[in-house]
A and B are shown apart, each in its own frame.
Chain A
Amino acid sequence: MADNLFRALADATRRTILDELAERSGQTLFEICARLSTRHGLGISRQAVSQHLAVLEAAGLVETRREGRCKFHDLNTAPLRRITERWPVPHAPNPEDSTS
């Protein structure tokens, strides 16, 4: 599972898909493709986007649900917690707070 997570995050296009889903969860494949092409200039096929989504889904970062005849993709950031559980982030003071 961890391997799936890191593999999913290793690709810039997949990170962009997560960014766009963070802005609005619940997108169709069509909307994701429109965002990638018009906002990021990524001219990739629907099939390629589908494959990226499958990788994100395998990592648990994207979940799909059916509503009527449509399929929507939602963001789930819960798997990211495993990263900080494996390499805990120290509770250091914020650098901006420690300038005194």
Chain B
Amino acid sequence: MKIHLTSVFVDDQAEALRFYTEILGFVKKHDVPLGEQDRWLTVVSPEEPGGTELLLEPARHPAARTYRDALVEDGIPLAQFAVDDVAVEYERLSALGVRFTQKPLETGPVTTAVLDDTCGNLIQIAGLPQ
């Protein structure tokens, strides 16, 4: 068994696709219309086109808002993405207007930071030991 797909709830799929591709740098993998307004919309890393897909799932379920608000209030990220250098990504993304709730923090061999994906979630970026 392996992780093929994981998901984040997003307020607006079109806006989420823009943020995840144009700002974070992922590429669109699948975009299938579902019903009148929803899409099966996934992105992948350009470094791993056949790797784990991230599903940008509409946060239409009434429980999703409560769940996400509670996590965001306490600063808890919903997903972690690996980057080569957290400090470099922090500078790059900040210059693009991305808001961080946690600036780069060195904790032993791992450096992390937490950003707001503008779609309702916090995302952690991590620089892992090579």
Give residues in A with beta carbon < 8 Å to B. 24, 27-31, 34-35, 38-39, 46, 68-72
Contacts and interface: CB of A to CB of B under 8 A. Distances in A.
Given A27-B102, A28-B102, A70 B72 contact: yes
Given A24-B103, A30-B75, A34-B112, 13 more contacts: A28-B101, A28-B114, A29-B74, A31-B75, A31-B101, A34-B105, A34-B107, A35-B105, A68-B99, A70-B73, A71-B74, A71-B75, A72-B101
Interface footprint category on B: 10 to 19
Nearest to A34: B107
B112 A28 contact: no
B76 interface: yes
B102 A38 contact: no
Interface in B58-76: 69, 72-76
Interface in B76-113: 76-77, 99, 101-103, 105, 107-108, 110, 112
